């Protein structure tokens, strides 16, 4: 485990001479990884925090009554504000073709 003294997540505040958390936007992926963070989709990170808050019980996350929490609408791992996407037959066919190409490329790269 990395000590706080040597953690890349902290810096010394020059005005108060105390450790403060760094801005993660200014950190490299390697520095974030050394702190134990992985590349994670935002909704998955929100879901993980909600599970943590509810003691790791998905049923408790589903039943959460803290509607004032900023994460509450996203607790199930989905964005309820995102409009349902409607695709034409041509768009659906083009998307299927792109997916097939991507799968084929991934299969040949493995």
pLDDT of 14-60, one tens digit each? Answer: 787 788 888 889 889 998 898 889 999 999 999 999 999 999 999 99
70 in a structural domain: yes
Same domain, 45 and 35: no
106 in a structural domain: no
Residue 109's pLDDT is 60
15 in a structural domain: yes
85 in a structural domain: no
Same domain, 23 and 49: no
Same domain, 72 and 55: yes
Residue 18's pLDDT is 81
pLDDT tens for residues 92-109? 999 999 999 999 998 866
Residue range of the domain that includes 54: 40-80
Same domain, 44 and 18: no
Using pLDDT thresholds of 50, 70 and 90, give the confidence band for residue 1.
very low
54 in a structural domain: yes
Same domain, 31 and 18: yes
DSSP the chain: ---GGG-TTEEE-TTT-SEEEPPGGGS-HHHHHHTT-----HHHHHHHHHHHHTTT-HHHHHT---TTSTTGGGTTSS-TTSPPP---HHHHHHHHHHHHHHHHHHHHH-
Same domain, 3 and 24: yes
pLDDT tens for residues 72-87? 999 999 999 998 889 9
């Amino acid at each position: 485990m990395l000590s706080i003294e040597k953690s890349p997540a902290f810096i010394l505040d020059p005005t108060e001479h105390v450790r403060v958390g760094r801005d993660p936007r200014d950190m490299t992926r390697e520095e974030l990884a050394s702190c134990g963070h992985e590349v994670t989709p935002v909704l998955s990170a929100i879901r993980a925090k909600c599970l943590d808050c509810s003691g790791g019980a998905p049923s408790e996350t589903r039943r959460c009554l803290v509607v004032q929490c900023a994460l509450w609408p996203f607790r199930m791992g989905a964005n309820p504000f995102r409009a349902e996407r409607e695709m034409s037959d041509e768009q659906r066919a083009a998307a299927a073709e792109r997916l097939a190409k991507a799968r084929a490329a991934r299969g040949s790269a493995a």
